[in-house]
Chains A and B, each alone.
Chain A
Amino acid sequence: MCGIVGYVGTAAGEDAVDVVLDGLSSLEYRGYDSAGLAVPTPSMTVSKAAGELSALEGIVSRRELAGEATGIGHTRWSTHGAPSDANAHPHCDERERVAVVHNGIIENYQRLRDDLVESGVAFRSETDTEVVPHLIGRYLDRGAGPEEAFRLAIDQLEGSYAIAAVFEGSETVYAARRDSPLVVGLGETGTYLASDVPAFVEHTDRVCYLEDGDFARLSADGVVVTDGEGHRVDRPTETIAWDPEDAEKSGYDHYMLKEIHEQPTSLRQCLRGRIDELEGTVDLEELDDLDHTGPIQFVACGTSYHAAMFGAERLRTAGVSAQAFLASEYASDRVPVDESTLVIGVTQSGETADTLRALREADRAGATTLAVTNTVGSSAARECDHVLYIRAGPEIGVAATKTFASQQLALALLAFELGDDPTRAELEALRDIPGQVQTILETTNARSVAEAFVDADAYFFIGRGYHYPVALEGALKMKEITYRHAEGFAAGELKHGPLALVTENTPVFAIVTGDGETARKTIGNVKEVEARDAPVVTITDGESDATRYADHVLEIPAIDDLGASVLANVQLQLVAYWVANLLGRSIDKPRNLAKSVTVE
């Protein structure tokens, strides 16, 4: 979790404090319970504060640090120790010769800490990270130079890390990575380091991704990357195609609302060039050399897991054996996997630690791996045998919205690539989705539904088939940004237990589309809750008589079931957004959550 930024500027460069603070604010979505920075010249200055980045901005002495061109910074999302000034990064050795920021978890930190304490080191925080500067300090004491001390300390670590360090009086940033992302930016007026590209994309679009086991030494004129033995390795320089301004709110109150409204555009991008209605085919160019006939397993977390459930169901409909697993449970589930299996990791960031771990296990077992991700150059994209990009564009709001819709559409395309060719009606439906999402955005009454139920005790969501994962996603969105209790259920499961929770203060959102058997069964479940006096909100295309049993209706245009699940989800996103808005929640940065979860 957390975000790291580093910078070494040339004489023409900016103040390190400005670059680091700007970078941190672009990374705030990764974690934000505390933040800090270190500038090692002319003497080591460390500033850190619990709370949002503004707290740090308030205490940094820009005037004293004016003209200094080297720095590192960190936004923290706690894994070890509560959010506090002391636990915020950077951490230093006792004599403040070195300052360290770290993303990840050091698994053997307790042992290292015990050793250091025994040798007389006094720790100032409860973090795992603090062992690193003390280890470096110990090697400095023994006469090692900065780089050697840094390497020797890193060699002691087990677990996952992206680490950056600066030494007093030195205009150099040292970095190392294992299982945690780190990318170097090569600019005209300096060299940048960050967990993710947005931190420096306003300064340069030339980047170089570090790989596991890499060490990097950044100076004003570039970077030297070496392996564990100190041998130089070449990491290609890539040019990234991000528009930095995409990551601004452009007049919306929240990134989440902006991203909800971007869905027609991002869905068009997802489909562009991939379907050919004249030929009646779907062609995913990047998967041309993927020829798979065996079973398929999805691994994913959170919202991506709901997309994976949807993808697995779509593939089963196409006659392919497919199952979705929670990435964090994949190992302990002891899922049978071998060379005949295709394991698909669905991860927006491409850095989700649980998903990466499951993919690596599958790879070790000989399976073919495929990453379905939004992030070019991410760990998942680089490590998997194949990658399918969902092309949603940058998503900043912690609660995933447009990326879920694009995951759904990309997985629908994948099913046609791996299963039967689409019918004309299916292709037309896919092409209709972006415009119909636009229709919903223009006509939705989600806000008035939210107003009606802002004081509810709990929110329940039910659906069948493709609408079941959407019911789960609708509930997750509600939990994430409103902090209210919400649950999604397969509609038929309601009567097997959860119905006991249903009262007149628990609205039930039922997704009912078409007028087939599935719709009729869901309507039966709607009647069950109606009989318990629960308010009913139906998300429906009006093809069935579901509205008869509804207190409120969220209308979607008529389309096939697959498309309807994409559309229904947009209405649920908007309901969650407006409930959270009415409650005054921190919508883009909900408490305790981070955008990209890079710890297991």
Chain B
Amino acid sequence: MPIRSAVVLAAGEGARLRPLTKHRPKPMLPAATKPILEHVFDALVDAGITEITVVVGYGRTHVQSHFGSTYRDAALEYVVQDKQLGSGHALLAAEPDVSEPRLVLNGDQLVAQRIVEDVLAAYDDGDDAIATLGLIRHEDVDEYGGVICDGDGRVTEIVEHPGDDRTYQLNAGVYAFEPELFEYLRGPDPQLNEYSLVDGIANAITAGETVRGVTSDGVWIDATYPWDLLDVSEALLERADGVESTVSPDARIHESATIVEPVVISADCVVGPGSVVGPNAVLGDNVTVGANAVVEHSVVDADTRVGSGATLVDCVTGRNVRVGTGSTVVGGPGDVRVGNRVHENEQLGALLADRVRDGGGVTYAPGTIVGSDAVLRAGATVRGTIDHETEVQ
């Protein structure tokens, strides 16, 4: 019987996306204005999935309120993982709901419908596999999970962050699995140690179970760091199977404004006279772009106000940000400091987290990160990393 149900893991914060994840989980961050998780659901529904169990935890009200009980006619059930103890533990939270083979996916990475379909097809062909993994070829495999298969497509090794120079395929985080896999997910002490799905699969392989891998050429995109949201949106707008350049009929665009496609301008947006939006500008719900402002290569999330004459280039904003009159995000590249690590030459103008307020005439040096609820006084020049709730004179 073909698989019609999926479990989507959407309980984790995605800490490397801070400060954008201070108030909501990574799956709810915007990829060309739609939450990443919505793209995942689209891939599932388009591949014929009709029931989705969503494991939620961190910031779960965002997920629940956004999607409600159905998504495009697929029924959504929510299961709460109270403590985020890894993807294996998350899947176990859904165990009571699972009595037959299912798909499981990460809710915080964009996967094409193609990968889902390839995994489903390989599962249908498979015989004795306890799990079937979707794999892709990807140059950054060392930052993710690596998989090595034998000549018959049997997975022989699965490791996180492979460091040696063998040829690994990247684990796309799309699995078809039999309920028997749950036994292997129970770690030595999952209450104390984070226990991942990969550990569980490795356990199953060690125990002699068959785990299959299927290589797909479908698209797989992950936003590891906040500025990756710029690339994600751009990639989606570029691809035929991505997101179409659109202006919502419920947006108001002044006749003298210039829209340079591709863009996404969502419902309730107001684009003022003389402004320029695009290319590659994506505006969430109810964003205002003031008169003569310029927004290009930027992700501007819901309820943000871009003041008159402001310029945003290579900028990521959270929700409800106030960019004052004449403020300037000059654009990347710049060096970005995250914790103790400096990412050099990233294409980031500035990252302004939820509810940052600037008083106007603020200049943002390339690579600036401003934490949520920070207040920047008029005329300030800011650079580096500014903590949440700080006031900059």
Residue ranges of A at the interface with B (Cβ–Cβ < 8 Å):
243, 245-246, 248-252, 258, 261-262, 264-265, 268, 271-273, 276-278, 428, 431-432, 434-436, 438-439, 441-443
Contact = CB atoms under 8 A, between A and B. Distances in A.
Contacts of B303: 432, 434-435, 438
Interface of B: 23-24, 54, 56, 60-61, 63-65, 67-70, 75-76, 78, 80, 250, 252, 254, 267-268, 270, 272-273, 285-286, 288, 302-303, 305, 319-320, 354-355
28 contacts: A245-B69, A250-B69, A251-B54, A251-B78, A251-B80, A252-B61, A252-B64, A264-B65, A265-B65, A268-B285, A271-B268, A272-B268, A277-B252, A277-B270, A277-B288, A278-B252, A278-B254, A278-B270, A278-B272, A432-B303, A435-B303, A436-B320, A438-B319, A439-B320, A439-B354, A442-B23, A442-B24, A443-B23
Given A272-B267, A435-B303, A250 B67 contact: yes
Nearest to B78: A251
Given A261-B64, A262-B65, A438-B319, A250 B78 contact: yes
A394 to B, nearest CB: 11
| Binding site secondary structure of chain A | helix
Nearest to A248: B69
Contacts of B23: 442-443
A250 B64 contact: yes
Given A268-B267, A272-B267, A432-B303, 14 more contacts: A245-B69, A251-B54, A251-B64, A251-B80, A264-B65, A265-B65, A268-B286, A277-B252, A278-B270, A278-B273, A431-B270, A435-B286, A435-B320, A438-B320
A248 B54 CA distance: 15
Contact of A276 (B54, B56, B75, B252): B252
Top 3 A-B pairs ranked by shortest CB distance?
A251-B78, A435-B303, A245-B69
A369 B67 CA distance: 37
Nearest to B249: A273
A261 B268 contact: no
A251 B97 CA distance: 14
A250 B68 contact: yes
A318 B234 CA distance: 47
Contacts of A271: 268
Nearest to A431: B286
A272 B250 contact: yes
B62 to A, nearest CB: 8
B63 to A, nearest CB: 8
A546 B302 CA distance: 31
A268 B319 CA distance: 15
B70 A245 contact: yes
A442 B23 CA distance: 6
Contacts of B67: 250
B85 to A, nearest CB: 20
Given A248-B68, A251-B56, A439-B320, A261 B61 contact: yes
A261 B59 CA distance: 12
A442 B60 CA distance: 11
A356 to B, nearest CB: 31
A245 B320 contact: no
Contacts of B80: 251
A268 B76 CA distance: 23
